[in-house]
Structure 1
Amino acid sequence: MKYFIIFFFILFPVSLFASCPRYGWDETFVVKKINDGDTVTLENGRLVRFIGIDTPEINYRNLSKSEPYALEAKALLERYIRPGDKLKLLYDKTKQDKYGRILAYVYTKTGRNLALLQLKSGLAKHWVIGKNDLLWRCFQDTERQARLRKKAVWSDFDSLNASRLTKSEKGYVYVSGRVTNIELSKKGMIFVLDKKLSVSIRTTKLKVFKENNIDIHLYDKLLLSGKLFFSKGKPKMTLYHPAQILP
């Protein structure tokens, strides 16, 4: 069964989410070390991983082999914080990852959101892991503005074309294409881009899309982020959060 309209959709102005909403801090700690663009070590030895962003990796064995803009991302943090400074932490639904790192939105003592600064500078990409999505709307919009301006990591950005996907392109990717089919079943939703890429959203996740007023229309052109895989020779992708549909 085909559905042309699934949910109500709201188009948010670009400027609406330019700044993230303010929340009270959960805890304050002293920073001991800046590890990279999205990780710091506290005075008590605990590692803090910034929620909502991913910055390029630093190769500490050979700095020249670090990913592009990795050192710049670390340098940006060093402009705003230094060892001995107090950091304010705001937690989300999950406070620790499988590696034992603290997961938090990290702010300077003056209230600057460090992850947001990375996104504005184009030195980080936005992603939602698990249920930690308190600030996803403003993070996504900030990333969009950096992407459109081709800042830093976005300087040579070009999404894959859904109609021309090959098995060599497996992994986490950005794919664009036009919706050519939409179906609903007890298992969830499946829509197809350019008659080739099958994208699925499980029933348990559809609620999140509906709560965030995300709509998918036939013939819409979409830009998606996610893990691309092939099954029986056909490209597929699974969406688990609305943040994977980029504005």
Structure 2
Amino acid sequence: MNAPARMVAAGKLLLLGVLALLALAPSEAGVFRWIDSAGHTHYSDRPQPGAQELKLNKLAAPYYYVQRVYDGDTLLLKGDIRVRLLGIDTPEIEGRYRLEQAGGSSARDWLRQRIEGQKVRLEFDQERHDHYQRLLAHVFTVGGEHLNLLLVEEGLAVVSIFPPNFKYGTQLARAQDRAEADRRGLWSMPDYVPQPILAIPREGYQRGWRRYQGTPVAIRSSRKYARLVFSKQVEVRIPQAQLDLFGKLERYLEKQLEVRGWVSRRKENYSILVRHPSGLKLLF
């Protein structure tokens, strides 16, 4: 291969590298170029000393064919790709070892009618996969409808934000406020009416997402968690890593508070893990 041909081939390889970076990088990320001391050109999705950020037009996002909607927040795409919708949670449908939760079929059927057998576009956040190796994504129709957001708007899903995945968090929280105010979907269902949080040790608890109300009386901290204490047996755990999102916890003390999430039990003690302020609501 002569010198001009080698230069053309090298240029093509560099271009392919840039395209690959754009495809793999988060939508907000840039592509940076720099030349090393030997005169070789490099590209990266991370800034380097002396690197130049390239102003490239975004590539058209790929679309994926939806083979199956498992439930309101889980899809199967062509190629055996499982996707979990980011930022939301829908009630469970009936399975081999579980009973259906109220609203589970409604969320699944709504999503099936929208996208099963259709194409969708995916947007990713900081984490690409969960511990089940499902892709984590915000899902959009070909027409641009944000399905995660619409499920919340319709009262078919609740907001469930897992840091560091904050994309669209503000929009999702506002959509949930609207759905709750209008009593749409699960916000009007008896299963999700708030229960007294102090009644949990006496009356037990139901699995799945629930709403509880009570008054925290103390704050305790450990290396891993800050805790809003409601009684000797009941508390809300907030990871220290996310504590800055909540501001001063003292503002919750001695006030009526609604806690939204999943109850866990350890011996005779009960707790609700809250990772994001959308899981707590001051009642006035």
The TM-score bracket by the shorter chain reads 0.7 to 0.9
Give, as a single letter, the amino acid of the residue that structure 2 aligns with 1:71.
S
Report if aligned partners of 1:170, 1:229 keep a CA contact under 8 Å in 2: no
2:70 is aligned to 35
Give, as a single letter, the amino acid of the residue that structure 2 aligns with 1:90.
E
Is 2:229 the counterpart of 1:192?
yes
In 2: Cα distance, 1:214 partner to 1:108 partner: 40
The match for 2:151 among 118, 123, 148 is 118
Question: In the TM superposition, what whole-angstrom CA distance separates every residue of 1:53-86 from its partner, at most 9, and x where no partner exists?
Answer: 222333377xxx7443333223322443241x33
Instruction: Give the CA deviation at 1:236.
Output: 3.3
- Higher helix residue share: 2
Is 2:80 the counterpart of 1:45?
yes
Alignment of 1:39-78 (within 5 A): 39-59=74-94, 66-78=100-112
Question: In the TM superposition, what whole-angstrom CA distance separates every residue of 1:116-155 from its partner, at most 9, and x where no partner exists?
Answer: 1111111122212353232222212322322333322222
2:253 is aligned to 218
Instruction: Give the CA deviation at 1:47.
Output: 1.4
2:47 is aligned to none
- SS of alignment partner, residue 83 of structure 2: strand
Q: Structure 2 stretches of 5 or more lacking a match?
A: 1-26, 29-57
Report if aligned partners of 2:263, 2:272 keep a CA contact under 8 Å in 1: yes
The match for 1:145 among 178, 189, 204 is 178
1:17 is aligned to none
Is 2:241 the counterpart of 1:204?
yes
Asked which structure has the greater CA Rg, the reply is 2
Report if aligned partners of 1:178, 1:194 keep a CA contact under 8 Å in 2: no
Alignment length, in residue pairs? 220
The 1:79/1:214 distance shift into structure 2, 3 A limit, reads farther
The 1:71/1:200 distance shift into structure 2, 3 A limit, reads closer
Q: How many percent identity over aligned positions?
A: 25
Higher relative contact order (CA 8 A, sep 6+): 1
1:11 is aligned to none
- SS of alignment partner, residue 34 of structure 1: strand
The 1:70/1:227 distance shift into structure 2, 3 A limit, reads closer
Give, as a single letter, the amino acid of the residue that structure 2 aligns with 1:68.
A
- SS of alignment partner, residue 177 of structure 2: helix
In 1: Cα distance, 2:108 partner to 2:223 partner: 46
Q: Structure 1 stretches of 5 or more lacking a match?
A: 1-21
Instruction: Give the CA deviation at 1:49.
Output: 1.4
Report if aligned partners of 1:87, 1:107 keep a CA contact under 8 Å in 2: yes
- SS of alignment partner, residue 134 of structure 1: coil
TM-score of the superposed pair, with normalisation by structure 2:
0.64
Report if aligned partners of 1:177, 1:194 keep a CA contact under 8 Å in 2: no
The 1:66/1:177 distance shift into structure 2, 3 A limit, reads closer
2:8 is aligned to none
Runs of 4 or more above 6 Å deviation: 22-25
Report if aligned partners of 2:233, 2:268 keep a CA contact under 8 Å in 1: no
The 1:88/1:231 distance shift into structure 2, 3 A limit, reads closer
Superposed CA RMSD in Å reads: 3.3
